[in-house]
Amino acid sequence: MTHSEKDPAARSFSEVAAVASPSGAEENLRQIMDTIPALVHTALPDGNLDFFNKLWLEFIGVPIEQLLGWGWTTSIHSEDVDGIVSKWRACLASGENFECESRVRRADGEYRWMVHRKVPLRDAEGRIVKWFGSSIDIEERKRSEERVLRENLALREEIDSSSMFEEIVGESAPLRDVLAQLARVAPTDSTVLISGETGTGKELIARAIHKRSSRSRRAFVAVNCAAIPPSLIASELFGHEKGAFTGALQRRQGRFELADGGTIFLDEVSELPPETQMALLRVLQEREFERVGGGMSIRTDVRVIAASNRDLNAAVAENTFRADLFYRLNVFPLEMPALRDRRPDIPVLVEYFIHRFAARTGKKIRGVAKSSFDLLTAYDWPGNVRELQNVVERAVIVSDSETLSIDAHWLSGRPPIASLAVGEQPHTLATAERDAIEGALVETKGRVAGPFGAASRLGVPSSTLESKIKALKIDKKRFKPAPTRPSIQRGSL
C-alpha cells in the first residue's frame, strides 16, 4: 500500500501539519495545539477526526487510537450520539460551520456538558482541506439552566395545585404550640415529620417551614405518595433513564432533582413500598440516589419534610414501615392538632372562609344564623379544617340572603357534641339581658359587629346591642384578649 493509500484516520501528525500549514511548521503547530488551554481537535474533509491535543486526551482518559475516525462517538452520551452525528454529517455536506452540544464522558466516568465547534479551512479553490475544532465545558451553565427550569416547573406546579389554605388562621393554644415549634426548626436543615389527621393542614405547615428557611428562594416540591401507583413512585421521586421500562421513551428527572437546593414534601410517606423506602433511606443517609434504570449516582441537596396521617410507630411494629427510615424522618416531629381540639379557632376560620368564598361569588354575607353557628361550633369535624371549608363554601353557594345558614344534613360525620349546660336562670329581665350579652361578648372576645360579633350571635342589629351595652353599663374592653400573638406570620389552618 502506498503512502497515499493509507486510511485517512491513520495519517501522521506530520501529514496533518503539511496539509494545514504549507510552510511545514509542524513543530510549531503541534506546540500550539498541545499547549493552548482548550480542548482542540482536527478532522479531515470526509469527517474523520484525526487529531486530539494533549488536554483532550487527558480529559477523556483514553488513547488517541480509540478516538480517531468516528471512534470519538463512544465517549459521547448515548442519548446525544444521534444528534451530534447527524449535525456533523449535515455540516460536512454543506460546508457550514459546525456547533453542537453534547455530554462527554470524562476520565473519571462523569459526563460533562460541552459545546463543540468546528470551522473549515479551505484552499485557493474553496475546497475544504481541514476542519479545526474546539470543545468548551459548559456544565455549570447547563446546571444553572436546568435549575431555573426545575424551579419554574415546581413554581407552576405549586401555583396550579389547589391548596386548601392560603394562610394560617387561628389563635388557639394548640396551634400556637405548633407555630412556636415551627419557628425553631424552620431555620435549620433538619428533617421534619408532621403527623396528624387528614385535613389538619400538614402541607401548609410544611410550606411555612420552607418559607422561613434559608431555602425559601428555591423550589418547594410536594409529592402525595398515596396518589401515585406503587410501580411508578420510584420513577416519580428519582426519575428514570430512557428505556428503563415500557413507555420510558426518554430520560425524565424525578422530584428530588426538581427540588435540588430546596425542599421536598412527602405527604402520606407511610404509603411508600418497601423498595422505595430503601431508596429514600439512602437519600437521607448519603444524599445521593440513582434514576430508575441508571447506574450513575446523583448527588442531591434537598431538605426532606414528610407527613403521615397514620401512626408510624404502629406501622414499624407491623413491619410495614422500615424502623431505620422512621428514625431518619423523625428528627423533629410535629403533631398537628385536630380541629375539635382547637375549637376557639372555629369562629375565626368560619369568618375567614365566608369572606373568601363570598368575594369569589360576589355575595354579601353579613352574619351566620345562631342555630347554624351553634351547629358549627358543636360539631366534631372528623374531616377537620378541610371539611369545615367545604361546608362553608357550600353554604355560601346556596345562600340567598345576607345571613348564612348551615343544613345539619351536610355534617355527615360524627354527631355534634352535647351543648354545655345553660346554668342558673336569671332572676330578672335585666339580669337575663346582661348575662346573655356578656356571654356573647365572652365568646366573641368583645366584638359587637360583624358576622361573628355578639350582635350576630344574639340575632339583633349591632346598633341595638350597642345601645343595650351602654344602658346596662357593660365594659366591652374587659372581654377583649390581651394582644399576644405568635411571632410567626399568620396563616390558614
Structure confidence by residue, pLDDT tens digits, 36-71: 778 998 999 999 998 889 899 999 998 989 999 999
Q: Among 84-93, 234-243, 418-427, which range has the highest average pLDDT?
A: 84-93
Structure confidence by residue, pLDDT tens digits, 438-447: 888 888 888 8
pLDDT value at position 361? 87
What gap in Å lies between CA 413 and CA 455, rounded to an integer?
30
**For the domain 3-137, what is the CATH superfamily, name and number?**
PAS domain (3.30.450.20)
- CB 466, CB 460: distance < 8 Å: no
For CATH 3.30.450.20, list the domain ranges present in the chain: 3-137
Structure confidence by residue, pLDDT tens digits, 400-413: 888 888 888 888 65
Average pLDDT over every residue of 97-123: 93
Q: What's the CATH code, domain 144-337?
A: 3.40.50.300
pLDDT value at position 15? 46
pLDDT value at position 470? 80
Q: Does this model's pTM top 0.85? A: no
Structure confidence by residue, pLDDT tens digits, 462-471: 777 787 888 7
- CB 354, CB 365: distance < 8 Å: yes
Structure confidence by residue, pLDDT tens digits, 252-261: 888 999 899 9
67 by DSSP, 3-state: which? coil
- Residues 256, 257, 263, 267, CA torsion sign: negative
- CB 180, CB 486: distance < 8 Å: yes
- CB 416, CB 378: distance < 8 Å: yes
pLDDT value at position 89? 94
Which percentage of the chain shows pLDDT scores above 90? 43
Q: What's the CATH code, domain 342-420?
A: 1.10.8.60
Please give the backbone phi and psi of residue 367, each rounded to the nearest 5 degrees, phi first.
Answer: -170, 175
Structure confidence by residue, pLDDT tens digits, 324-374: 999 999 999 999 999 999 999 999 899 889 988 998 888 888 888 888 888
pLDDT value at position 233? 92
DSSP for 385-425 reads: HHHHHHHHHHHHHH--SSEE---GGG--SSPPPPPPP--SP
Mean of all residue pLDDT scores within the chain: 82
What gap in Å lies between CA 151 and CA 171, rounded to an integer?
34
For CATH 1.10.8.60, list the domain ranges present in the chain: 342-420
Within 8 A by CB and 6+ apart from 118, the residues are: 43, 88, 91, 97, 98, 99, 131, 132, 133
pLDDT value at position 253? 86
Structure confidence by residue, pLDDT tens digits, 169-206: 888 889 989 999 999 999 999 999 999 998 999 999 99
Structure confidence by residue, pLDDT tens digits, 207-220: 999 999 999 989 99
223: pLDDT confidence band, cut at 50, 70 and 90?
Answer: very high
pLDDT value at position 378? 87
Residue 4 pLDDT greater than 60, yes or no: no
